A and B are shown apart, each in its own frame.
Chain A
Amino acid sequence: MAIPKNNEREFERLVEEQKQTIYTVCYMFSNDTFEIEELFQQTLINLWNGIASFRGDSSVRTWVWRVTLNTCISAERKKRRLKRNLPLDVSINPWQDNDNDSLQIRLLHQRIQRLGLFDRAIVLMWLEGISYQEIADIVGISPKNVSVRLYRIKESLKKMNDN
């Protein structure tokens, strides 16, 4: 079956616009470079599969967040890497670079990784400035519940700092 040309262009544009968000989320759910590559490319596959059925009920940003988080949370962490994964065009290595900025990024990664899967998702969206209503729509809980979770996440982070 032929792929409509306009979908291809739309997809390329979407990936170009959202690649940083996708990479950041995949990074926060990964433990090494290969895992980022696997999650990133699986996310692209899921976005491509969904682009035809995306009707614009939510914003593109909300939809991309939903697909990316769904992919990361549902991913079964297989030790075997998919051979078809291509290396991403990224010169930084968040696990090995030793400049001060990289250390800060690693600290962020460590803190986020200590949270549960869904808490990780919620705090990432909150840090991106996504509204409670949007977070609630993506996760599937009420906005009130989002605020409760965020309060608890904040307490967890405080305890991490105290320790």
Chain B
Amino acid sequence: MDHNRLDTTELRELREQLDILKDKLQKEEIVNRKIIRNAMNSAANSLQRQRNFFVVAGLFAILYTFWGLDFIGLSLHFRITTVLFLLIAVIHTFWSHHGLSRSDFATEELITLGRRVASLKRRYSTWLYFSIPFLVLWLGWFVWELTGLFTDRDFLISLFVGMAVGGIVGGIVGINKHRAVQRNATQLLQHIDALTSSSTSEEL
């Protein structure tokens, strides 16, 4: 099978239209030095930013949970459970992003990378099956600990109203994001399936 055998009217038209685009682009500068410098700087900083973010977020979470929650007076069991959850969340994030570093984008085949992106999205979804029940229980525990610590009814009501509003807004945003991610993953996997299941027995 060579190029010419497929060179039908439809594809010829596309090729002619593509040539028009190329002709137009030939007269354009497209990139300048500033754009190229910007790409080089973004690349160097971005890797550092990602690594630093996880380190700082992890350290902050551990410090805050151990000393911050201790300052409020929450129990040691509660603090240890929270730290463990946060550590698992960070490890899960690292694991989910494995094979999707910037350098992987420069070396991997389209399908391999597409599969990894789709599985990243699925892992994020699977994570919800664990994290949502956990957070519900965690919240219940948190409320129970607070009611044991504070007796001022008005203070507790204002605290719980604030938590409820934050929880609802966060929940809506999270669900919307989750659904969008699911849609993209499904679409990507469908494309990959269609591509890889092409019958080789079909005569062209």
Contact = CB atoms under 8 A, between A and B. Distances in A.
Interface of A: 1, 3, 8, 11-12, 15-16, 19-20, 23-24, 27, 41, 44-51, 53-54, 63, 66-67, 69-71, 73-74, 76, 84, 86, 88-92, 94, 101, 104-105, 107-108, 111-112, 116-119, 121, 123, 126-129, 132, 137-142, 144-145, 147-152, 154, 157-158, 160-161
B29 interface: yes
B32 interface: yes
Nearest to A68: B105
Contacts of A152: 198
B113 interface: yes
A158 to B, nearest CB: 5
A44 B18 contact: no
Q: Which of A73, A152, A158 has the most CB of B within 10 A?
A: A73
A89 B29 contact: yes
A53 B106 contact: yes
B102 to A, nearest CB: 4
Q: Which of B46, B103, B106 has the most CB of A within 10 A?
A: B106
Contacts of B20: 101, 104-105, 108
A24 B106 contact: no
B43 A49 contact: yes
Interface stretch (B7-15, B71-79, B133-141): B7-15
A121 B39 CA distance: 24
B81 interface: no
A36 to B, nearest CB: 10
A27 B107 CA distance: 22
Contacts of A112: 14
B103 A50 contact: yes
A154 B34 contact: no
Given A90-B28, A105-B17, A147-B204, A49 B196 contact: no
A94 B10 CA distance: 21
A73 B111 CA distance: 10
Contacts of B107: 50, 53, 66
B10 A157 contact: yes
B39 A41 contact: yes
Given A73-B113, A128-B18, 8 more contacts: A23-B25, A53-B107, A66-B108, A66-B109, A70-B110, A108-B21, A138-B109, A140-B112
A163 B25 CA distance: 30
